[in-house]
Amino acid sequence: MKTLSENACFGGTQGVYSHASTSCACDMTFAVFLPEEAKDGPVPVLWYLSGLTCTHENAMTKAGAQAWAAEHGIALIFPDTSPRGDDVADDEAYDLGKGAGFYVDATQDPWAPNFQMWTYITDELPALIGENFAIDMDRQGITGHSMGGHGALTMAMGLPGRFKSVSAFAPISNPTAADWGRKQLAAYLGDDETKWAAHDATLMMAEKGFDGPILIDTGTNDQFIDLLKPEALAAAIATKRQQATVRLQPGYDHSYFFVSTFMEDHVAFHADALYAE
0.95 surpassed by pTM: yes
Q: How many domains does the chain have?
A: 1
Burial of 265 (0-12, 13-18, 19+ CB in 10 A): middle
CATH of the domain at 9: 3.40.50.1820
What would the pLDDT profile of 99-156 be if each residue is shown by its tens digit? 999 999 999 999 999 999 999 999 999 999 999 999 999 999 999 999 999 999 999 9
Catalytic site positions: 146, 222, 254
Tell me the torsion sign for CA atoms 131, 168, 193, 87.
negative
Residues of the domain holding 229: 2-275
3-state secondary structure (DSSP) of residue 47? strand
What would the pLDDT profile of 6-45 be if each residue is shown by its tens digit? 999 999 999 999 999 999 999 999 999 999 999 999 999 9
Tell me the torsion sign for CA atoms 258, 261, 265, 267.
positive
What would the pLDDT profile of 194-248 be if each residue is shown by its tens digit? 999 999 999 999 999 999 999 999 999 999 999 999 999 999 999 999 999 999 9
Region label for 94, one of left (φ > 0), alpha (ψ between -120 and 50) or beta (otherwise): alpha
Residue environment code for 191-220, b if the CB has 16+ CB neighbours within 10 A, otherwise e: eeeeebebbbbbbbbbeebbebbbbbbbbe
